[in-house]
Every structure is written in C-alpha cells, then in structure tokens.
Amino acid sequence: MANPWAGEVAIRIDGERQVLRLTLGALAELETQLGAEGLVALVERFESARFSTRDVLALIVAGLRGGGWQGGPGDLLGAEIEGGPVAAARAAAELLARAFALPETPGQTP
C-alpha cells in the first residue's frame, strides 16, 4: 500500500501496482528534464491546469524512479496506465502535492 505520509502514490502500469515517490534526487531530475524555473513553477502549472502530457509523463517517471524503478520515459510510451491519461494526470498531481504537503495530525491546527 502506498504511504501518503511518505508522499507515496500508487498506480497500476501494465497490470502491476507501482508505488511512486518524489525523492530529492527525483525532484532535481524532474526540474532539469522539464526545464522548469524551479519546482514552484511546476506546481503552479498543475494548480492552474496548464500542465502538458510531457509534465505528467515526467512526474510519473520521476515518481517511479524515486520508488526505485530503473526505467526511463521511453519505457512508458507503450505502457497501459490503468484509468488512462486522466488517472495518470491525477496521480502526477497528487504526487506533486504530497511531496510538498506537511502531514496533518488529528487535533493539529495550522
């Protein structure tokens, strides 16, 4: 099971459950790959629904790599993601949000 407290998100790729996680190294790789002017710019793209399929794919790959996967973007070009592009975009957005969200503790006030 994916652990949301550790920033993990689970998706099924080619019928296999995968756990995605954005480590610091995965985030640095993602930032470089997308040419984003920092991670805040990437977060803003998702918040304003201005993200591209390239952004989604890059986030999924970075999350997979953060979870220990050794593949690259080319390995996912023919892969079937359960739920299709919408599920992939949802997982990418959730992954990005969890990477920067502080866990809430019951009874804790912001």
* Tokens representing residue 55 in the block: 């952004």
**Whole-number Å distance between alpha carbons of 13 and 105:** 32
Question: What's the full length of the chain, in residues?
Answer: 110
Q: At what angle do helices 84-100 and 39-47 cross, to 10 degrees?
A: 130
Position 8, amino acid? E
**53-89 pLDDT, tens per residue?**
888 898 999 999 998 898 888 899 889 999 999 999 9
Q: Where are the domains of the chain?
A: 4-100
Q: What is the pTM of this model?
A: 0.81
% pLDDT > 70, the chain: 89
**Whole-number Å distance between alpha carbons of 86 and 53:** 10
**12-24 pLDDT, tens per residue?**
999 999 999 988 8
Return the number of other C-beta atoms located less than 10 Å from residue 81's C-beta.
20
Task: Please report which confidence band the pLDDT of residue 110 belongs to, taking 50, 70 and 90 as the band edges.
Answer: very low
Q: Considering only CA atoms, which of 30, 41, 32, 35 is closest in space to residue 65?
A: 30
